[in-house]
Each structure stands twice: as structure tokens, then as C-alpha cells.
Amino acid sequence: MQRTFFWTVAVMVFGLHLSSLFSDPEAQIRNAVGRIMPADAVPSGQQVFRFMNAEPTNLDIGVAIYEVGGIVFLFERLTMLDYNNRVIPGAAESWEASDDQTRWTFHMRPDGKWSDGRPVTAQDFEYAFKRMFDPTT
């Protein structure tokens, strides 16, 4: 019994090793968490790993302030954080603060468009922030 088990395991290990010799590791595409993706998957540099902690009850980011963990990925922000938690451009291509850092000026990307084709403007973000801080919302 032990001998049969040993040979079964040995043949399986040899088969796995043999199959790895004929697979091209360069052709294998891995996702952001290291899993091997199908051959037609996009290159790993173009993949983005996103997650949601729980099903959101509201997709209005101005109202669902305690649920932004998942829905924040649905919206383009003025700035974002990269994988190293550095601030990078989002809808704003650049920004600067006043000397006393009480006023920030954001310069919008000229190519920003809404899903209906209208240009994204600074007034859109101004409205969103004012709405978010309005206690009646």
C-alpha cells in the first residue's frame, strides 16, 4: 500500500515537473496578486486590482461617507494615491498651494470628459465639494 502511494505521488510530481518544462513562463501573465491569467489577458502593467469591503447601500459619495472604501473607485478624483501612497494626478494635472496653504489651485486636464462627452470642469468639482459640505444633503 505504501509503495503504491509512493509511486503515485512520484509519477504526479514528475508529470507536473514535465509539464512545467514545456510551458513558457514568459507567456504566462500574472495578475496583481500573482495568479496566472488566461493567455488573452491584458499585460500585467495594464491590470488594476480593486476591491470592495461590503456591498454599498448608496453610490452617492457625498452622502455615503462611511462607505467610500469601495465606491471611491467609481469616481475620478482631483488627485489620487499611487501604490506607494504618493499623491498623483487624477482629473487635475497639477496643483499648487498658496504660501499660507489656505488656498489650493488645481489645473484640470484639458482632455477630461464625462461619459456623455461633455468636458469636465473645475465648476463640476466645486459643485460636488459644496454639495458634500452642505448639511442638508
pLDDT digits (tens, 9 = 90+) for 28-57: 766 666 778 787 877 767 767 666 666 777
Model confidence at 59: pLDDT above 60: yes
If you classify domain 65-133 with CATH, what class do you get?
Answer: alpha beta
- Between 87 and 61, whose confidence is greater? 87
Largest Cα–Cα separation, the chain: 80
Query: What are the residue boundaries of the structural domains of the chain, listed by start?
Result: 2-46, 65-133
105-132 average pLDDT score:
92
* Distances 46 to 29, 40, 51, 115 between C-alpha atoms, Å: 11, 13, 17, 21
Alpha-carbon distance 47 to 49, whole Å? Answer: 7
